[in-house]
Amino acid sequence: MADTLRNFVLTMAMSRPTSFAAFKKLHVISLVASLAILSILYTFWGGGLSSISNSNEHYSSGVPTLSNPFNHDGMHTKAAPADTEEYVAFCVAHRNQVRDIPEFLTHHYHHHGIRRFYIMDDRSSPPLSSFNDWGIPRSAVSFQYYDKNAQYPNMQTHIYSECQRLYGSLHSWIAYIDADEFFETRGGETLPSILREFDKDESVGALGVNWRLHSSANLTTRPESMRQSFTSCPIDPENIPDGEIQGWKDNRLIKSIVKTALFEKPLTPHLFKTVNGTRTVGEHGDVIEYGDGVRQPITRERIGLHHYTVKSREQFEEKTKNWSMKGWEYWDHIEGLPQVQCDEMTKYKP
Ligand SMILES: *[C@@H]1O[C@H](CO)[C@@H](O)[C@H](O)[C@H]1NC(C)=O
Ligand SMILES: *[C@@H]1O[C@H](CO)[C@@H](O)[C@H](O)[C@H]1NC(C)=O
Ligand SMILES: *[C@@H]1O[C@H](CO)[C@@H](O)[C@H](O)[C@H]1NC(C)=O
């Protein structure tokens, strides 16, 4: 509709009025067009969002549609500067779970200025690219599909190598995270502003950011916004030597944002090998040891990665159905840890 309107306005603007009547007609038409544009803007930024706030039904019969369900009551936190040169891109391996994606995109688009998201679609049915409304301009999202004939034993790290191979030359950094992970920065920094600082240090190949896991906060059904709703977090585990960690590594784990010029290969989905002896460092420039991607002591003074690892009971149930890696013992583990209130992400709107 916006396109039709744009073409219409352009056509009108280009046609020369040959008489007074035509001139008058043009004025009336411009007025109507302006009003239409204003009403579209209003729908986008204000009133319109409330009309789709109760959108539990995202799949309408046959036609893939997807609405952005954030009920942000008109409040906006300050938007981050747009990374229009696409200095940093995100590489996200994903299957189905289409409703989780708009909040992820919205968050990083507005609050970190990210303008390039590669959604690496591992056998979704229907393909994720068949959906339209992602909550951010469609032009910022690129899709790549992997069907059953394009499978590798370690699909996630295979996909990460593909992101570097296909898109590495277009960006300075690529962040390798999942759609249930959200960056939080403090002190007026954003992800790109922090990365620009580490760009200057030639010994740095990647930045590793500690997780902040979120538990279900006792929610049984899917809330509209993860950031506004899952405000209960397991406390950080104590420092113990890597070799002595038993079981889940939880918040000790990092995810990586890698300099494309120094990329060598993923070691795990968490930690990458970078060339020439360059290393992955934490937010304070501390070197992260090779291994599973554990960073201790855990700090998130400048940047943290909030991980909605179980979500609500309903969502976890849905996930376990198609996900062999973790079952209910993982739910019990996360929910059983000592918890604290964690409201950090509620500051972000939309
Ligand atoms: C689980 O997989 C089945 C078939 O493989 C698919 O129809 C269904 O949509 C999937 N569910 C989720 C939540 O991904
Ligand atoms: C969840 O339920 C447990 C058991 O009733 C309670 O102790 C805990 O405080 C609740 N947590 C939240 C975040 O409401
Ligand atoms: C690695 O180091 C060698 C020797 O110092 C240098 O010639 C080369 O350009 C470096 N490679 C990268 C990707 O920085």
Span 27-47, average pLDDT: 44
Dist. CA 341 → ligand 2 center (Å): 11
Give the per-residue pLDDT at 9. 37
Instruction: Answer yes or no: is pLDDT of 223 > 50.
Output: yes
For the chain, the domains span 2-45, 88-347
User: What is the percentage of the chain residues whose pLDDT exceeds 90?
Assistant: 71
Span 333-349, average pLDDT: 97
pLDDT band for 62, please (50, 70, 90 cuts).
very low
Tell me what the pLDDT averaged over the chain comes to: 84
pLDDT band for 44, please (50, 70, 90 cuts).
very low
Span 269-287, average pLDDT: 98
**Ligand number with the minimum distance to the CA of 276:** 3
223, 345 contact by CB (below 8 A): no
Exposure of 150 by Cβ count < 10 A (0-12 exposed, 13-18 middle, 19+ buried)? middle
Neighbours of 180 (CB within 10 A): 21
Tokens found for residue 48: 């319109």
User: What is the percentage of the chain residues whose pLDDT exceeds 70?
Assistant: 78
Tokens found for residue 21: 């009547």
Span 247-268, average pLDDT: 97
Dist. CA 277 → ligand 3 center (Å): 10
Query: Whole-model pTM?
Result: 0.80
Instruction: Answer yes or no: is pLDDT of 48 > 80.
Output: no
Instruction: Answer yes or no: is pLDDT of 184 > 90.
Output: yes
Q: CA 216, 220, 224, 226: dihedral to nearest 10 degrees?
A: 10
Q: In whole angstroms, what is the distance from residue 58 CA to residue 224 CA? A: 12
- Relative to beta strand 204-214, strand 279-281 is parallel
Span 166-188, average pLDDT: 97
122, 128 contact by CB (below 8 A): no
Q: Report the nearest atom of ligand 3 relative to the CA of 202.
A: 14
Q: Name which of 329, 318, 327 is nearest 95 in CA terms.
A: 318
User: Distances in Å between the alpha carbon of 211 and those of 14, 140, 234?
Assistant: 54, 25, 11
Instruction: Answer yes or no: is pLDDT of 179 > 60.
Output: yes
**Residue nearest atom 3 in ligand 3 by C-alpha distance:** 276
DSSP secondary structure, 282-340, as one string: -TTSPBPPSSS-B-SS---SSEEEEEE-S-SHHHHHHHHHT--S--HHHHHHHHHS-EE
Give the per-residue pLDDT at 226. 98
Higher pLDDT, 75 or 300: 300
Name the CATH topology of 88-347. Answer: Spore Coat Polysaccharide Biosynthesis Protein SpsA; Chain A (3.90.550)
At 88-142, the pLDDT tens digits run 999 999 999 999 999 999 999 999 999 999 999 999 999 999 999 999 999 999 9
Q: Which residues contact 152 (CB under 8 A, 6 or more apart)?
A: 158
pLDDT band for 219, please (50, 70, 90 cuts).
very high
The residue type of 24 is: K
* Residue 232 Cβ < 6 Å to ligand 2: yes
Give the per-residue pLDDT at 246. 85
Our mutation pick for probing the ligand 3 site, out of 203, 262, 273, 276, counting the most ligand atoms within 8 A of Cβ, is: 276
**Residue nearest atom 5 in ligand 1 by C-alpha distance:** 322
Span 269-284, average pLDDT: 98
